Amino acid sequence: MGTCGYFFTIHRLHFVFYYRKEEENNFQFLKHQKNMDICVIAFDADDTLWVNEPYYQETEQKFCLLLEDYLPHHTISQELFATEMKNLALYGYGVKSFMLSMLETALRISDKTLNIEILEKIIQYGKDLINKEIEILDGVEIVLKELSGKYKLVVATKGDLLDQERKLRNSGIEHYFHHIEIMSDKQESDYQKLIKHLDIRPEQFMMIGNSIKSDVLPVLALGSFGVHVPFHTTWAHEQIENKVEHPNFKHINKITEILSFLNQ
């Protein structure tokens, strides 16, 4: 018997675990007999539950347009990305960090000659980004509804605390979740803390998200299950080149595919 708490029965599923090997443009299905004991399923939020990255990219485009007298668009984008990476350890992830990085980049590339009105516009772009309407991705509600009685559902997201709390509140899907974890980062140690907090073993934890780097690799390393559901746009910081091959890894094309996978 696992330690999933009073509310949940243990789902001891014995099924064939498939994962996809994409070499030779041909899917080769490999079978792994697994005794799965998952009782907590965690979802990444941005670009897994709702749209996020396109809004950031849209804001970045407006930012480049605003500063096009100084540098070409792609160079401004590179400068902004470099500032964001430099600031990550100081500010963490999220919208306020992005705003500060835009301001810093603007000051640098204009050699501090910027008009105050441009700085005001950048701040407004950030506020517009914060106030964007939440757009829940296709299939998300179906999945949450179906799984909520059977598993403990958790949101595990990076980003600005207040911003992510607000998004969740406005999303209309908050009630499906038993626990919201807003993490400063998504390294192995961060997931370890979460798993400990949930009072479960790593093999009882499954994470679903659009980032291989943040949502999949650290949890696989801990012995948990990692499910990748790609979104059409990924922030450069989250992109990785290598393919994942691991018996606890599952790639799905649409979030609803997780239902048949868990029911096998």
Decide: is 181 part of the binding site for Mg ion (CB under 5 A): no
Provide the minimum distance between the beta carbon of 47 and Mg ion in the complex, in angstroms, as a whole number.
4
Provide the minimum distance between the beta carbon of 210 and Mg ion in the complex, in angstroms, as a whole number.
5
Nearer to Mg ion, 46 or 84 (CB): 46
Of 6-14, 30-38, 47-55, 190-198, the segment contacting Mg ion by CB under 5 A is: 47-55
- Distances 179 to 151, 186, 236 between C-alpha atoms, Å: 12, 16, 29
Question: Phi and psi of 190, rounded to 5°?
Answer: -70, -40
Number of residues that bind Mg ion (CB under 5 A): 4
Decide: is 46 part of the binding site for Mg ion (CB under 5 A): yes
Nearer to Mg ion, 45 or 195 (CB): 45
Decide: is 47 part of the binding site for Mg ion (CB under 5 A): yes
Nearer to Mg ion, 114 or 130 (CB): 130
Range 185-191 contact pairs with CB under 8 angstroms and sequence separation of 24 or more:
185/92, 185/93, 185/158, 186/156, 186/158, 186/211, 186/214, 186/215, 186/218, 187/218, 188/218, 188/221, 188/222, 190/218, 191/156, 191/218, 191/219, 191/222, 191/224
Question: Which tokens sit at 99?
Answer: 């705003």
Of 19-27, 42-50, 138-146, 175-183, the segment contacting Mg ion by CB under 5 A is: 42-50
Residues binding Mg ion (CB under 5 A): 44, 46-47, 210
